[in-house]
Structure 1
Amino acid sequence: MLKKISVNQLVLGMHLKEFCGSWMEHPFWRTSFILTDPKDIDAVLASSIKEVWIDCAQGLDVAVGELAVSEAESEAKVESDLKVASEGNRHVAPVTAAVEIERATKICLQAKQAVVSMFEEARMGNTVDVGGARQLVEEISDSVARNPGALISLARLKKVDDYTYMHSVAVCAMMVALAKQLGFDETQTRSAGLAGLMHDLGKALMPMDVLNKPGKLTDAEFSIIKSHPDEGYKMLLGSTNVDPMVLDVCLHHHEKTDGSGYPKGMKDESISLYAKMGAVCDVYDAITSNRPYKSGWDPAESLRKMAEWTNGHFDPRVFQAFVKSMGIYPVGSLVRLTSGRIGVVMEQTGKSLTTPSVKVFFSTKSDMRITPQVIDLSRPDNTEKIAGREDPTKWNFTDLNELWSGFSKAPW
C-alpha cells in the first residue's frame, strides 16, 4: 500500500517512495529509500516539500489513528500525482541566457552534488537509483528548453577536481540538446539525457590517482581507464528498469566509426545512433574543459578540430546536428568582427549559425580594452559580421569566462 502523507508524519523506519514536488525543492538526489537517520527527516522538514509518498509494504505505516492524505494500491496513482505536480512547477517558456544562467547555476550546483552521491553509492557497491537520476534529467532538460546554451556553457566551467562529476552533467545537457535537434520525442529526449548523465558511471571504480593523473597515462594505466564502460554497464545491469539507451551509451560511447574505439572495436553500422551521440558530446566536453594535464580549448576551435576527425571518429550526420545544436561559434568562443573589435559569444540567436550575440570588449585598431557592448549579429540593422575565430591563448584575456557568464571561476 502506498500512502501520501504530510512531511510532519514522517518517522524513522518509513520507506520514502517519492517526494511530491520538483527535484529542486528537496535535498536528496535519490527518492526511494528507508529513513534511518534523523537528519534526513530534518532536511525534509527544512525544505519546501509538504507531502511525500511512503510504501507501507517496505517500511513503517503512519501511527494508529493518523490519516493519510491519499492512498493508492499501485504506483499508477503516484506517477499521475507526481506528473501533475511536476508539470505544474516547471516553466519551459524560452528565456534569454542572462535570465537562465541564474537558475542554471543552481541546477549545476545541485546536479554536481547528486552525481557525487551517485558515484559514492557506486563505489560502495550499492545499486544506483536511476529513478532519482530521472528527476535531475528533467530539470536539466527544462533548462535546455528555456535556453540551450546557458547550462551547457556553465557546466564547462568545472574545477579540475570536479571534472568527472560536472562532465556527466554537461554531457547530459548536450545529449538533450542534440536529441531535440535530431527530432526525438520528449520520452526519447529524456532517455538521451539520462544516458549522458550515467555514461561515465564506471569511472566510480577507477583508481583516483589514475583518473586524475596530471601527466600522460602509461599503457597499463590507460588499460585500466578503458575498463570503465564495462564496469559502468555491469553496475547499471544491477539496477531495476534501466532504459536500454542508457545501457547502450554507457557501454559504447568510446566506440569510433572506423573500428578503432573501445571496448568492442565496433564499426560504423554496428554502433547505435545513441552511442554515436554520446561519443560526440563526450569528446566536446572533454576537449573544452580544463584537465589536470591541459587547459581546455576554445569552443569554436574545438568544433573545427572535431570536424577534421569526423572521417573515422564521429558519424557525420550526428556531428552536423551537434554543431547546429551548439552553433558554429558556441557560447564562450572568442571571435573577431569585421570592425576589428574582439568579443566573446554570449548566446545563439536562433536565426543563423553564424550570427550569435557577441559582447565586444577589445579594439584591435587601438590595441586596448573598450567598454563592453553586446551586439546581436542577427538584427537587420546590424552591419557587423564575424571575421574569424581568435585564439584565447594569444591574447591572455584573464576575464574571458567572467565576460560571458558573470563568473570568474566555477561557482560550485
Structure 2
Amino acid sequence: MVKRIERHEARVGMFIESLEGAWQDNPFGQRRFLLRSETEVDLIKNSRITGIYINLAKGVDVDGSSRSFANSSPPRSPPPRKALLDERRATVKIVQASVKRLETAFKESRSGEPINIESVSEIVGDISTQIGSSPAILLDITRLKSKDKVTFVHSVAVSALLVHFARHLHFEEPLVRVLGFAGLVHDIGKLAIPTAILNKASVLTAEERKIVMQHPAIGHDILKRQGNLPGVVLDICRHHHERMNGKGYPDGIPAGELSIYVRMSAICDVYEAVTSVRPYKKPWSSATALSWMLQHGDHFDTQLLWKFILSLDSELTRGVA
C-alpha cells in the first residue's frame, strides 16, 4: 500500500516511492529509497518538497508501525551511560592533546622552523584510531572551541571528517592518512593573519576579508618550503576555498582543474565551519548546513556532497548536529 504524507511526517525506516514538489535531488540519486538515518529525514523536512509517497509494505508508517516483518529488525540497545562517559573522557584527552601538539607544530613553523612531520603524523594516527571507534563523540568534542583555539580545533575536526569521508569512499589507508594530515595543516596560512581579525566577533569588513583570503596562498608557500610533503597536501592547502563555479579563491580555477581531494576538503571545511561555534555566529544544525550546501551546488561537487551526506550515519549526525 502506497500512502501520501507531508514532509514533516518523515521518519527513519520509511520506504520512499516518490517525492512530490520542486526538490530535484534525493539522497540516493534515484526515485525509490529507504530512509536510513536522521540526516536523510532532516534533509527532507528542510527541503522544498510538498509531499512524500511511502510504501507501507516495505517500510514503517507515520506512527512507526511496520507491515513488513521481513524488513524489521530489533532496535539496538544504547551503550551503558558509564561506557559513554568513559569514552567521552578518553576522546576529550585525545582532542586536547592533538590541539596542543598541532599548536606547537604551527608555532615552530611561525618561527621559521620546518614542520615536525612526525609529530603531526602521530596526531593523524590518534584521530584515525578514535574515528574508527567513536566518530560521533570525536566530532562532538571538536565543537568545544575556546576563542583562541578556533583554528587548531577546526583543523583537528576537518582532519577527522576527511579521514571518515575517505574511509567511506574506500580509499587505501595510506591515502586516508595523507588526507588526515592535509586536514591538520590546511589552514596553516592563518598564522600570518592578525588574531584580532580571526577572532573578531562581528562580520569582517571588505578589507579584512581580503586579508583572510590570503591564507591559502600563504599556507601553500609555508608547506612548499618544507620540501618533503605530498602534492595532495599542498593542493588541499592552496585550493580548499575554490568553488566548482570557478569563483573561489585564491586562484579562481574551474571545476575541471580541482582534484577529488580538493573537492572533498572543500565540503569538509565548510561543513565543519558552519556547524561549529565561531566568534561571530551560532552553529547551524547538521540538517541546516547540508540543506544550505545542497542549495549552493555551484560551490561544491554535488555527487561528492551526496556521498558525504550518506557517510554521516545517524550516530555521527547526532554527534555533529
TM-score by length of 1: 0.55
Q: How many residues align?
A: 239
2:232 maps to 1:250: no
1:226 aligned to which of 201, 213, 230: 213
Cα distance in 1, alignment partners of residues 267 and 87 from structure 2: 25
Cα distance in 1, alignment partners of residues 283 and 147 from structure 2: 11
2:293 maps to 1:318: no
Q: Name the structure 2 match of 1:202.
A: 189
Cα distance in 1, alignment partners of residues 313 and 112 from structure 2: 40
| Larger relative helix fraction | 2
Unaligned runs of 5+ in 1: 1-94, 335-412
Query: Counterparts of 1:329-344 in structure 2 under 5 Å?
Result: 330-332=317-319
Unaligned runs of 5+ in 2: 1-77
In structure 2, do the counterparts of structure 1 residues 205 and 321 end up closer, same or farther at CA, with 3 Å as the change threshold? same
1:270 aligned to which of 257, 271, 276: 257
How far off is 1:122 after superposition? 2.3
How far off is 1:209 after superposition? 1.1
**Equivalent residues of 2:276, 2:283 under 8 A apart:** yes
Q: Give the secondary structure class of the aligned counterpart of 1:262.
A: coil
How far off is 1:123 after superposition? 2.1
1:127 aligned to which of 94, 114, 117: 114
Which region of structure 1 is more displaced relative to structure 2, 95-104 or 277-286?
95-104
1:157 aligned to which of 144, 151, 162: 144
TM-score by length of 2: 0.71
The residue type paired with residue 310 of structure 2 is K
Q: Give the secondary structure class of the aligned counterpart of 1:156.
A: coil
Q: Give the secondary structure class of the aligned counterpart of 2:317.
A: coil
2:97 aligned to which of 103, 110, 114: 110
How far off is 1:317 after superposition? 2.0
Q: Name the structure 2 match of 1:215.
A: 202
Q: Name the structure 2 match of 1:177.
A: 164
The residue type paired with residue 272 of structure 1 is S
1:41-87, Cα deviation, whole Å (9 max, x unpaired):
xxxxxxxxxxxxxxxxxxxxxxxxxxxxxxxxxxxxxxxxxxxxxxx
Q: Name the structure 1 match of 2:177.
A: 190
1:295 aligned to which of 265, 268, 282: 282
**Equivalent residues of 1:229, 1:263 under 8 A apart:** yes
How far off is 1:131 after superposition? 2.3
| Larger relative strand fraction | 1
Which region of structure 1 is more displaced relative to structure 2, 279-288 or 293-302?
293-302
Query: Equivalent pairs: percent with the same residue?
Result: 37
Cα distance in 1, alignment partners of residues 131 and 300 from structure 2: 23
Cα distance in 2, alignment partners of residues 288 and 118 from structure 1: 26
Q: Give the secondary structure class of the aligned counterpart of 2:170.
A: coil
2:245 maps to 1:284: no
Q: Name the structure 2 match of 1:307.
A: 294
Higher-RCO chain (CA-CA 8 Å, sequence separation at least 6): 2
Q: Which protein has the larger Cα radius of gyration, Structure 1 or Structure 2?
A: 1
The residue type paired with residue 225 of structure 1 is V
Cα distance in 1, alignment partners of residues 110 and 320 from structure 2: 37
**Equivalent residues of 1:171, 1:285 under 8 A apart:** yes
Cα RMSD (Å)? 1.9
Which region of structure 1 is more displaced relative to structure 2, 155-164 or 177-186?
155-164
How far off is 1:100 after superposition? 3.5
